[in-house]
Chain A
Amino acid sequence: GAVVSQHPSWVICKSGTSVKIECRSLDFQATTMFWYRQFPKQSLMLMATSNEGSKATYEQGVEKDKFLINHASLTLSTLTVTSAHPEDSSFYICSAPETTDTQYFGPGTRLTVL
C-alpha cells in the first residue's frame, strides 16, 4: 500500500537552534498534508494543513512563525521548528490523504530539545 515517510525519525538539538522535519508521500501525490504534534500519553493535536502551491493553514494557537511549513512539491512537505526550546520537545507526525477516505501517516519524528 501507499507509504508516507518522515525524516529524521529522531533528532536531538540544542535550545535556540532550528530543526527541519521532512514528510514524503512515496508512491502517490499529495496536494495536502497534515502535521500533528503528540505529547506523551496524549492524543494527536493537529498543528497545520500543508497545501502544495499555497500557504499552510494553521490551527488556533499554533505560531506560524515558529513552525514553518513548506509544501515544496506534490510529494514533500517540510516542518521547520525555529528557535526550538525544551517545551517544543514532542513527537511530530505527518499524514497525507491519498483520497478523501484514505489517509496514511508517517512513522513520526521524536524531537528532543536540550
Chain B
Amino acid sequence: GESVGLHLPTLSVQEGDNSIINCAYSNSASDYFIWYKQESGKGPQFIIDIRSNMDKRQGQRVTVLLNKTVKHLSLQIAATQPGDSAVYFCAEIDAGGTSYGKLTFGQGTILTVHP
C-alpha cells in the first residue's frame, strides 16, 4: 500500500543479535520481490531477492521468507553488525505489469545496531 507521508518504523538491536524486518505487500500478482539496503544519503543497494514460487532464500547472513497467503515478506539478518545500520526496503515487481522492471516499494524500516 501507499507509504506517502508516513515515517518509517524503527528497529534497534544489539550487535551480534539476529534482526527480523517485516514487509507487507499489496499486489497478489507480484511475482518477484527484492530487499534493498539504503544508507544515509545514498541510493538503494540490492541485498537479496526471491521469486513467488519460493518460500525461502538464503544469502550470506541474510534470509528472505515469503508468505504469499498473507502477502508478507521478511528479511532476517544473522549476527547483525553496526555496518548493517541503514534503512531497509522491500520492493515487488509484477512481471505481468505494463512497465518493464517497475518496482513498487514498501514502507521501509530503519535498523539501528548498537555496539
Contact = CB atoms under 8 A, between A and B. Distances in A.
Interface of A: 4, 6, 31-32, 34, 41-46, 49, 57, 91, 93, 95, 97, 99-101, 103, 105-108, 110
A105 B43 CA distance: 6
Which 4 A-B pairs rank lowest in CB-CB distance, beginning with the nearest?
A97-B101, A105-B43, A43-B3, A43-B108
Given A41-B110, A42-B3, A43-B107, A49 B102 contact: yes
A32 B8 CA distance: 29
A103 B4 contact: no
Contacts of A49: 99, 102
Nearest to A32: B100
Contacts of A101: 32, 49, 93
B7 interface: yes
Nearest to B99: A49
B13 interface: no
A100 B7 contact: no
Contact of A100 (B3, B89, B95): B95
Contact of B105 (A6, A44, A57, A97): A44
Nearest to B44: A105
A34 to B, nearest CB: 7
Contact of B89 (A44, A97, A110): A44
Given A41-B110, A44-B44, A101-B93, 13 more contacts: A32-B99, A32-B100, A34-B101, A42-B4, A42-B8, A43-B6, A45-B105, A46-B103, A91-B41, A97-B100, A97-B101, A99-B101, A105-B43
Nearest to A101: B32
Contacts of A105: 36, 43-45
A21 to B, nearest CB: 13
Indicate the member of B32, B42, B44 with the most A CB atoms within 10 Å: B44
Contacts of B44: 44, 93, 105
B5 interface: yes
Given A95-B103, A101-B32, A103-B101, A41 B42 contact: no
